[in-house]
Structure 1
């Protein structure tokens, strides 16, 4: 996301457009706007609830003793989330392995409407729940990265079936039990509930709007996450 003298202002010509959801209420997904609107700097007075962020993540990776904790909000249909994963995924994983970072992953589902099946965001988020609960962090991170690598096109003619998602999970080392969880769609409803709760918390952090990808640190949005890994270097150096 480009630097601006005034942060989070609309930039209609931005090549780093993010996905925005305005006027979000608890458990209600409002109208999706795809474009160059960036975040509003005015925060909800209450701010996100730490206990909710901690309880509804698809997976929490990293030691509880890590000096820095971040919340990462993504949708598996979001192309800018794919770009974020390509830029920062490996650096995040290394910081986790080095004991410097704890990450709470929140998989949102508001891009269902641009998937061929109409529910791909939900089904892929459910698959991530299966892998997160049934496998190690390494398998989860590989699966997370693989889903972005195989991301279906927006408004395309096809996307990945549950059987396809289960096959990808198997390729990353998931057990037969986890593969069945994915192929059966066993955690889709759980993922939808978690996504709605996460969306509400994200809206509180962003003054009634929501965007993917977003990284929060101590409940505040981290700037410049689409410009390489300098954002992560700064966070880690601030806690060193």
Structure 2
């Protein structure tokens, strides 16, 4: 990574014409690179992924909401430092919540953390996921949904734990949740759960892990980035998955 800046040239380097031996080494080097690339391509195309394990998804969801008897269960994979997830929440969050309330779907939220390194603190995704887990453990679904939405409104702010705790309290979180968030008590557990959920997502998408993603019966739902039409199609029985 160069952060947009032109790399500084090495002042000790002096270009020179390549001799016959240089061409030989370059040719050998290119052959090795080509062999590695081709070998990697073949390996990736031959790699197999096990079926998605629904038990693992259920055990490692940050929050499960909705009637167990609901006819449809969806798994939602997000990262609190993800701009596209913020857009997904704006476009589809209300529809997901209303259909949960209406008993039409059961939603399992998986808060991933692969964007930790993109935050200044280096661990914002994990800390925000830990905060969501605190609320999921100690408060009702309305508080979870409110904090979930509020964190995505501030997806790029990289809040410290105390500010996340204050945001949770402003959205109805209990004193127990506030203290849990401020102390970062569930961050490590959230990381472990994120790793397990990411593994199942990778199995479903053959290694193409990205957020936001929605799975239905272990299969990726298509076209989730253009409004809640994908959910309407699922409810209608069209099931746009791949």
Bigger shift: residues 45-54 or 66-75:
45-54
- Which residue does 1:213 correspond to in 2? 212
**What is the aligned partner in structure 1 of residue 178 from structure 2?**
179
TM-score, normalised to structure 2, is 0.78
The alpha carbon displacement at 1:79 in A equals 0.2
Is the contact made by 1:41 and 1:206 (CA closer than 8 Å) also made in structure 2? no
- 1:78 maps onto 2:72 in alignment: no
Task: Give SS of 2:106's match.
Answer: strand
Encode CA deviations 1:106-154: one digit per residue, 9 max, x unaligned.
000010111010100010000010011111011101110010011126x
Displacement of 1:42: 10
> CA–CA distance in 1 between the matches of 2:45 and 2:224?
16
Match among 118, 131, 144 for residue 122 of structure 2: 118
Deviation at 1:48, TM superposition (A): 1.1
CA contact (8 A) 1:43 1:205 kept: no
Three-state SS of the structure 2 residue aligned to 1:186 is: coil
Higher relative contact order (CA 8 A, sep 6+): 1
| SS of equivalent to 1:212 | coil
Shift of 1:44: 4.9
Tell me what 1:188 maps to: 187
TM-score normalized with structure 1 length: 0.78
Residues 178 and 114 (structure 1 numbering): CA distance in 2 closer, same or farther, change over 3 Å?
same
TM superposition shift of 1:219: 0.2
Count of residues in Structure 1 that have an aligned counterpart in Structure 2: 195
Is 1:94 matched with 2:93? no
- Structure 1 CA distance, aligned partners of 2:58 and 2:134? 18
1:233 has 2:237 as partner: no
Please report the RMSD computed on the Cα atoms of aligned residues, expressed in angstroms.
1.8
User: How much does 1:46 deviate?
Assistant: 2.1
Q: Out of 43-52 and 72-81, give the one that drifted further.
A: 43-52
CA distance in 1, matches of 2:111, 2:220: 17
1:43 is displaced (CA, Å) by: 9.7
Structure 2 gap segments, 5+ residues each: 1-43
